[in-house]
Amino acid sequence: MKIKSILLTISLIFSALLISGCGKKGESWAYDYEPETEILALYEDGTAEFKGEKYTYTKDNTFIHLRSDSKNQDIRYAKDGESIVIYEKSTYKQPGKQEDGLGGIWVADNGWSFAFGEDGKFSEENIFFGHYSVDENTSCIKLMYDDPIPDVYLYFELNGDELTIEYPWPLVGTTKASRKG
């Protein structure tokens, strides 16, 4: 009789864990170009998943603060109607001769690149071209493309030969077919 009670208790505990999962999902986000693939989930219990990694999180009007034992990230975000824009950080370096300031060619480890000319012209990936302006007070670069692409605002930090850019990525609610939890 005692064994049946223990087994019943264990199965009730497992059932409760399966039902509750990892907490009730508050928000589920995907890149707008791939709405069925969740990249960011924020749970009501203060846990989160970002690109497959688990975190705890807090959120204010400007940043989603992700924390884990091995990694901390502060992701800038902005609400945009029913969607949000997150600003993902990438670090760029100047190969070869070091230019003063923002001017010159900047390359990230993954091969992405920006070139900023002293004449106010820029190139992104050597594919997209246009003009740029810099607001030093807000640490923002405004990219105005020659192609019919909306203007983009990048946050940046320049530290010697390293340029950290926070690039905007629009997110939409993850389509129901792929939601976890």
Report the pLDDT value the prediction gives residue 3, as an integer from 0 to 100. 52
* Beta-carbon count within 10 A of 86 CB: 21
Domain residue spans of the chain: 21-82+171-178, 89-170
From the list 129, 161, 155, the residue with the least C-alpha distance to 142 is 155
Please tell me whether the overall predicted TM-score, pTM, comes out greater than 0.75 for this model: yes
**Residue 82, pLDDT score:** 86
- Sign of the torsion formed by the C-alpha atoms of 75, 59, 27 and 16: positive
- Asked if 93 contacts 158 with a C-beta cutoff of 8 angstroms, the reply is no
Tell which residue, 78, 73, 35, 34, has the closest CA to residue 56. 73
The predicted pLDDT at position 97 comes to 63
CATH fold of the domain at 89-170: Lipocalin (2.40.128)
From first to last of the 181 residues of the chain, give the pLDDT tens digit.
555 443 334 443 343 333 344 568 899 999 999 999 999 999 999 999 999 999 999 999 999 999 999 999 999 999 988 899 999 999 999 887 666 789 999 999 999 999 999 899 999 999 999 999 999 999 999 999 999 999 999 999 998 889 999 999 999 999 875 445 5
- Amino acid occupying residue 45: D
**Can you tell me whether residue 17 is helix, strand or coil?**
helix
Indicate the residue type of 181.
G
